[in-house]
Structure 1
Amino acid sequence: MNEVHGKQSDTPKKEEPILKGTFISVLFVGVFIILSWVAVYLLFILR
């Protein structure tokens, strides 16, 4: 049992990928969706 736990601590930890670009892309998509809804709502109200 101890050998298994010892091997896990000896293995190097994988670095997490940098997700800054993904986060910015998701923000842009969210802003686009919100602006689209606002534009359609304004078209509906103004007509």
Structure 2
Amino acid sequence: MQESRRHRTYDRQFKEEAIRLVTEGGRSVTEVAHSLGIHENLLHT
């Protein structure tokens, strides 16, 4: 039997902060995604 995946949603504030960490914090997308526990593709879309 296949396990169902949970679809997480992130509020606007979370997304804006993640992008700010990349654009203003001088960190890479990979670093920020890893520190937030999300896949880096979520920051590219």
TM (norm. structure 1) is 0.30
Q: Which has the higher contact order (CA 8 A, sep 6+)?
A: 2
**Which structure has the highest helix share of the two?**
1
TM (norm. structure 2) is 0.31
